[in-house]
């Protein structure tokens, strides 16, 4: 018996009449790793923005398990259990790697509840776990601003993991990475598989083949096709939509 972790019901947004995302309905099951594919401008990042509350949708609803989180504020959505990793990696550059993870591990959203010098044992433990998972232990005392591009991506991923979110939204987690770095990211994701429900937007097909079970293809703001990798590769509409360009695969 599977449970729907995230349900998008006819989600859409229009910018001055232009429908960047148009009536997208997707159900993502608990523990699933879903890859969202699509050409530039297909609306993938906007979809992430809608789920995480960065952009307010103009139609449709978002459910996290049974909770309707449509139009919640960003920090409420994050607290409800949706962690978002940005396309351009963003970390706290003037703080040490460990401090980055510590901040992420704090459990309450407001200023007064955090007016304490103590960190809970659970929070400390999660920081250590994240350091281990991302392999950033040796860099723990360095400033995050001094990390390489790949390490920055892992740190951001680590920050999300310390929060133990129900759902991870990853926007191009391997963008700009070397092959070795991509490989390590794959390992991290495979380690997380099953513990979290994960949605990945990616272009790198080698990576997609390695991690994906189920794929959603977007085109012009709409869902074009959905299925496992073989189905998608054979799908006529997908071929048609990408015919003329190199194709998506």
Partner 1 sequence: MQATKLRLNLAVYLIFIACILLAPMFLEEFALNRLAKFLVFGMLGVAIALSWGYAGILNLGQGLFFGLGAYMLGMSLKLASPTSMAQGSDTPVPDFMLWNAEPGSKTDLCCINGGSWLWIPFQSHWFGILMGMALPTLVAFGLGTVVFRKRIAGVFVSVITLACVLLVRLLIVDAQPLTNGWNGLTDLGVLTIGETEFDPYSATTYYLVAISLSVTLILGRLLTETRSGMILQAIRDDYNRARYLGFEVSSFQVFFFCASALIAGYAGMLYVIVAEFASPSFMELSFSITMVVWAAVGGRGSLIGACIGALLINVIETSVSETPALVEAWKVIIGLIFVLVVLFMPQGIAGLASSVTDRALERFSGRAARLRQADSQHQPAE
The site for partner 1 (CB under 8 A) is made up of 52, 54, 74-76, 78-79, 83-84, 86, 90-95, 99-100, 102-104, 106, 109-112, 114-117, 119, 141, 156, 159, 163
* Cβ neighbours of 220 (radius 10 Å): 15
Q: Which is nearer to partner 1, 75 or 125 (CB)?
A: 75
Phi first, then psi: give them for residue 162, nearest 5 degrees. Answer: -60, -25
Residue 103 beta carbon to partner 1: minimum distance, rounded to whole angstroms: 5
Bridge partners for 143 per DSSP:
96
- Separation in Å, CA 207 to CA 45, 199, 200, 212, 219: 18, 14, 11, 8, 21
Question: Which residue is it, tokens 């097909």?
Answer: 205
Nearest-angstrom CA–CA distance, 186 and 210: 7
Q: Which is nearer to partner 1, 43 or 89 (CB)?
A: 89
Q: Sheet harboring 59-64: ordered strands across?
A: 18-29, 4-15, 59-64, 67-68
Q: Which is nearer to partner 1, 114 or 178 (CB)?
A: 114
Residue 106 beta carbon to partner 1: minimum distance, rounded to whole angstroms: 5
Q: Which is nearer to partner 1, 21 or 160 (CB)?
A: 160
Residue 195 beta carbon to partner 1: minimum distance, rounded to whole angstroms: 19
Residue 26 beta carbon to partner 1: minimum distance, rounded to whole angstroms: 21
Of 19, 11, 22, give the one whose Cα is nearest residue 63. Answer: 11
Q: Which is nearer to partner 1, 10 or 109 (CB)?
A: 109
Residue 203 beta carbon to partner 1: minimum distance, rounded to whole angstroms: 22
Render the burial of 105-144: b for 16+ CB within 10 Å, e for the rest. beeeeeeeeeeeeeeeeebeebbebbbebbebeebeeebb
Q: Which is nearer to partner 1, 142 or 193 (CB)?
A: 142
Residue 79 beta carbon to partner 1: minimum distance, rounded to whole angstroms: 4
């Amino acid at each position: 018996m599977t449970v729907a972790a995230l349900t998008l019901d006819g989600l859409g947004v229009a910018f001055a009449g232009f429908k960047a995302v148009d009536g997208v309905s997707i159900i993502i099951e608990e523990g699933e790793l879903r890859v969202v594919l699509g050409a530039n401008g297909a609306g993938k990042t906007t979809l992430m923005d809608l789920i995480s509350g960065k952009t307010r949708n103009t139609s449709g609803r978002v459910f996290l398990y049974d909770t309707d989180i449509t139009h919640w504020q960003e920090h409420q959505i994050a607290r409800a259990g949706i962690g978002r990793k940005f396309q351009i990696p963003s970390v706290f550059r003037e703080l040490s790697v460990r401090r980055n993870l510590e901040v992420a591990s704090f459990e309450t959203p407001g200023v007064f509840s955090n007016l304490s010098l103590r960190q809970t044992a659970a929070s400390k433990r999660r920081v250590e776990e994240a350091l281990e998972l991302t392999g950033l232990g040796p860099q723990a005392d360095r400033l995050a601003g001094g990390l390489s591009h790949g390490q920055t991506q892992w740190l951001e991923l680590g920050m999300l993991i310390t929060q133990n979110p129900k759902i991870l939204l990853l926007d191009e987690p391997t963008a700009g990475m070397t092959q070795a770095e991509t490989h390590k990211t794959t390992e991290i994701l495979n380690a997380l598989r099953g513990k979290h429900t994960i949605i990945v937007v990616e272009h790198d097909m080698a990576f997609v083949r390695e991690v994906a079970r189920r794929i959603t293809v977007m085109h012009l703001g709409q869902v074009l096709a959905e299925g496992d990798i073989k189905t998608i590769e054979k799908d006529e509409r997908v071929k048609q939509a990408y015919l003329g360009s190199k194709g998506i695969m």
